[in-house]
Structure 1
């Protein structure tokens, strides 16, 4: 549970960096300064939703799309990560994604960040 919460904090920091420094222009977060943790709470909330979606829906999508993953030598996982990011945006009104290209790049960046977080937290 502690590892999951630390991963949520790291993903929240990635969401913050992606939107504050306009790394992906189509990825926008509507900040809530009146929330419990201020604007940072918004990023933690989005990261928590993304983490839960990735933990619950992600394995099901990966299992169902296993033939496509094998056929494309794993490149279809990028599309799955984009779908998970899109599902996160659909579940919250605080995250907006402008297009499929932004979702694919955002999913790729978040997948790499999640992998780095897993590597750091497993030590």
Structure 2
């Protein structure tokens, strides 16, 4: 039950953020659900590869390069989905940071 609640809340948060933040557009709530699924797959498959490749840069920047990796994941999701669009790298960076913060707060409340 907790997984389904977190999934639906993540889709709602994603939909609201894409409509609220400048530079991010989403077609509808169905596209938000698909975006959450695609982002979960990308975070499980692509993100570890990028983290291993970018490990030296991550160490040099004291972990700040992980924000860049998150933005790249959002941009890749935008490329893969026709219903979700991010205008550029800065918009993807802002979207990923705000999404991470809000999702972390929701996870703390739900757990």
TM-score range, shorter chain: 0.7 to 0.9
C-alpha spacing 1:6/1:83, structure 2 compared with 1 (3 Å) = farther
Q: Alpha-carbon deviations, 1:30-52, whole Å to 9, x = none?
A: 23xxxxxxxx2221111111111
Q: Determine if the alignment matches structure 1 residue 92 to structure 2 residue 91.
A: no
- C-alpha contact (below 8 Å) 1:26/1:99 kept by paired residues: yes
RMSD of Structure 2 on Structure 1 (CA): 2.0
User: What is the count of residue pairs matched by the alignment?
Assistant: 111
Deviation at 1:120, TM superposition (A): 4.8
Q: Determine if the alignment matches structure 1 residue 60 to structure 2 residue 49.
A: yes
Secondary structure (helix, strand or coil) at the match of 1:90 reads helix
Higher helix residue share: 2
Q: Quick one: distance in 2 between partners of 1:29 and 1:82?
A: 17
- C-alpha contact (below 8 Å) 2:31/2:84 kept by paired residues: no
TM-score when scaled to structure 2?
0.84
1:75 paired residue number: 64
TM-score when scaled to structure 1?
0.77
Q: Quick one: distance in 2 between partners of 1:70 and 1:118?
A: 28
Q: Alpha-carbon deviations, 1:87-123, whole Å to 9, x = none?
A: 10111101111111101101111222343355456x4
- Runs of 5+ in structure 1 lacking a partner? 32-39
Which of 27, 30, 42 is matched with 2:27 structurally?
30
Structure 1 segments (4+ residues) deviating >6 Å = none
Q: Quick one: distance in 2 between partners of 1:112 and 1:42?
A: 21
